[in-house]
Structure formats: C-alpha cells, structure tokens
A = this chain, B = another copy of it.
Amino acid sequence: MLTASYAGNRTITIAEAEPVSPAQGQVQIKVAYTGLCGTDLHILHGNMDARVSTPLVFGHEMSGTISALGDGVTGWRVGDAVTVMPLDWDGTCPACLAGNQHICQNLNFIGIDSPGSLQGYWNVPSEVLVALPSTLRLDHAALVEPTAVAVHDVRRGNVQPGDKVVVIGGGPIGVLIASVAREFGGEVVVIELDPNRRAQIGELGFETLDPRETNQVDWVTQWTDGAGADIVFEVSGAAAAVLGATDLAKVRGTLVVVAIHPVPREINLQRLFWRELTILGARVYQRVDFEKAVELLDGGIIPADLLITKIVPLTETQDAFGDLEGGLAMKILVDVQAGS
C-alpha cells in the first residue's frame, strides 16, 4: 500500500508499506477517501511540530470499508462501509469524568497524535467506527467528519427555528455551518471576502455580504429589525472579524468561536458587558454529531458536490495542499487507492 507522511520541513513523503494485521480490539479499514483540512495544513506548515512526531501518516477525514477484524471485535463485518470519529480519550481525567470525553485533557486525536488515514489500510480501535448507510457515496462520506464539526458548532450555539444566524467566513467549515444551521431552522447570512466563494454560497440560496462593500453592522441591524443576530459563528480566523463580531449580536446573543486563533485576540468586552453576550468555544464533536452528520449527508442536505473541488491520487497529496494554501479549492479529497 501507499502512505503519505508529513516528514517535517513542509514536506510530504510518499512511500510503499506493508499493511499490518489489526491487533486485538482493532479493525483494519481499506481507506477509500481522505479529505485534507486546515489542521493538516497547519501540520504541514510546521505549526504543530511541538505536538506531532515525524514522520506522521496524517489525515482524519475519511471513508472506507472494513477489510479485517482483530480478535474480540463484535458488531462489525468485513465489507461494512465506515468512517471514523478520530478521538481516543483516556476516560479518567476530570473532563472525561464530567462527561466531556470529546475534549479529554489527555486526548489522542487519531491522525495528529497517532497515525491517520492517508494510507491504503488503516488500523483503528473498533470504538471509533461510525457506520455508513449503503446509500451514501464514499466520496461524500469523507465529509462526515467536517460536517460533524459543523453539527457540533450549531448545537453548541443552540440554533433554533427562526433564529437569525451570521457566519463569518465562507470556507468549507463556514459553508457546512451555514447548511446545518439552515437545516436546524435558522436564517443564515454568510460574510465572505472572496467573490468566487460568495457566488458559490449564493447559489446554495444563502444571503452573502462583502464586508468591504456593505456596513455589516447596519445590514444585520436592519435584517433583524433592530435586534441584532441571535448567533454569530466566527469561522474566518481573522483578528478584525473577532473584534467586529460582538457588534453583530443581539442582547443576550451568542458568539461561537470556531476558527483557530493561535495568538490572543482583542475582544470588545464593553459590548460583551453591555449586551450580556455569551462567547463559546467549540471543539471537535461528540458521537451524536457524527450520527447527525451521516444523516445530513445521506439526505442530501449538505452540498457535498460543491464542497469537493477535486479528487486526487495519494501521490499528488503535496500539490493538493498547495491548492488549498492558495485558496484555489474548498475541499480536496485524496483517493487513497488510486495509483497503488
């Protein structure tokens, strides 16, 4: 089989390797597709070198079929279509004991802290498997993981029918949040600088705003009859977006910070105070989010074809990251079996 590894120094190495038999409690998955995401790009850029051990076979947004079962695995069969919720918690830390296993204080994120799915055959503990329905295409199923992120964010923001929702940043996660929020009954506007992305998002039926052309505070105030938005999702990662986001929310409204902000950001605490706002952090997902994500993709609620800009063979993984970096793609899938 072929593997793609982050080798340090912004380099991906493609190598041949022998598949390993699954250990007790593990299953071996024949990986079909692996999506490349912003976190993978952070790894490639060396931003996470303090955390990852190289060479690292990375990748964690995936789909595939079970190819072998380790001893003691029950409830699964060879050939089952699956995806993976790549969280391996210790079950004993204070966060786990309080029921927040998904953000375990000693979390092993599979594909970052241990090997991921950019390889032909991948062994994982059976506990992390999520079943896929036969009606869901495997390329679309590679979007289950990022869709689960969006479901988690929308649940965390508690979007209710009729809520006015602002999504700042129209990249793949922004589009997924907008799609899920609409499915939960929200009315959504997406704020995005890039005109091509705005056009794509507009075709999905969402309002869009260019904040350089339109005063976003005036627009949102008018859209909400003077109240402000119920929920604002910050998905852009930009300092200016964070600083402006609090001005968009209603009294007792919510700002969900989804984007990674590696350095502290200025927040308008005067506005937080004045309107008694809530700011929430949201990280990864819980099993309920994965199950909802499968349902939304299977039901055609998620615009999978728009999000998947292209599918490349594993040998072209490095170039694919180049396209992501340049903003030329929403989501690129690696066809892990192609060329192997």
Contacts and interface: CB of A to CB of B under 8 A. Distances in A.
Nearest to A94: B227
Interface stretch (A19-27, A117-125, A136-144, A280-288): A280-288
A105 interface: yes
Interface in A10-62: none
Interface stretch (A169-177, A211-219, A268-276): A268-276
Contacts of A281: 269, 271-278
Contacts of A225: 94
Given A95-B252, A242-B269, 10 more contacts: A94-B225, A94-B228, A94-B250, A156-B276, A264-B267, A265-B267, A271-B281, A273-B283, A275-B281, A277-B280
B264 A226 contact: no
A270 B48 CA distance: 13
Interface stretch (A255-263, A312-320, A331-339): A255-263
Scoring A95, A105, A262, A276 by chain B CB atoms within 10 A of each residue's CB, the highest score goes to: A276
A93 B279 contact: no
Interface range on chain A (Cβ under 8 Å from partner): 35 or more
Contact of A264 (B95, B261, B266, B279): B266
A224 B105 CA distance: 14
Interface string A78-104: 000000000000000111001010010
Contact of A95 (B250, B260, B271, B273): B250
A243 interface: yes
A157 to B, nearest CB: 12
A273 B274 CA distance: 23
Contacts of A265: 266-267, 269
A242 B268 CA distance: 12
A193 interface: no
A250 B100 CA distance: 11
Contacts of A304: none
Contacts of A228: 94
Interface in A104-163: 105, 156
A251 interface: yes
14 contacts: A94-B250, A94-B251, A95-B250, A98-B252, A103-B275, A242-B269, A261-B270, A264-B266, A265-B266, A266-B267, A274-B281, A274-B283, A276-B283, A277-B280
